[in-house]
Structures are given as C-alpha cells and as structure tokens.
Amino acid sequence: MKPIQLPHYTEGEYGALDLPDAWHAASLACFAASLGARFLVQLLPVGNAYFGRVFLPGLAVFTLAGLGLLFGLIGMRKPHARGLAKVGVFLNVTVLVLGGLAVAAFFYILPG
C-alpha cells in the first residue's frame, strides 16, 4: 500500500523537511547546541574528572560550532535558504572566534 499524496500539504509549513533542504536548520541547531554544550556534557557520565569538567565542554563547543559552520556553508548552495544559512555561518564563526579567545585567555592566565 502506497501513501496517498495530499495536494494541499506538500509545500509550505506543512511540507516534509528533508535534510538536503534543511542544512540551514541543522546549522542553527548546531549553534544552539554549542551554546548549551556545557549542559549537554553534564548529561554524559564522567570517567575522568579533569577531562569531563574542563576539556570536554570546550571540545564540544568547537566541534558543534565547526559542524554548524560546515552545515551553513553547504546550505548556502540552495538559493531559497541562503539568508538563514548566512545567519548560521555568522553565528557559528562568532562562536568559534569567541571560543578561541576564551581558550587563549585561559592559557594566558594559567600559572606556570
């Protein structure tokens, strides 16, 4: 049995969201996840206290923002979502730059 295509619900806000068309949404989702990386990491079980408390949230921020940047750049190929993809790229680059500054300040302040 094949699903029946409904003509009124194929486009617009009720249309199916496929990932090839939703790279901009994945970019913005990665940006939001990178902002909450500290809280997302707390949901994971911690084996080593130093690695889990200090290193892993910073690594998660850079990983999620890097993925968001990649998804945003891929999303800029589609003309109908180019505006949101540019916003995602800008936000993820901002997270990467500010995260890099925070890491540099951490190692600058670190004694020894």
16 — phi, psi (to 5°)?
Answer: -70, 140
pLDDT in tens, the chain (112 residues): 676 665 555 556 655 555 667 899 999 999 999 999 888 887 877 666 666 667 888 889 999 999 999 999 999 988 888 899 999 999 999 999 999 999 899 889 987 7
Question: Phi-psi region for residue 31, left (φ > 0), alpha (ψ -120 to 50) or beta?
Answer: alpha
Number of domains in the chain: 1
Residue 75 is assigned to a structural domain of this protein: yes
Residue 4 is assigned to a structural domain of this protein: no
Residue 84 is assigned to a structural domain of this protein: yes
Residue 55 is assigned to a structural domain of this protein: yes
Taking residue 99's Cβ as centre, other Cβ atoms within 10 Å add up to: 16
Domain that holds residue 28: 18-109
pTM of this structure: 0.75
Tokens of 30: 């990665």
Question: Residue 33: which residues within 8 A CB-CB, separation 6 or more?
Answer: 40, 64
Residue 8 is assigned to a structural domain of this protein: no
Residue 5 is assigned to a structural domain of this protein: no
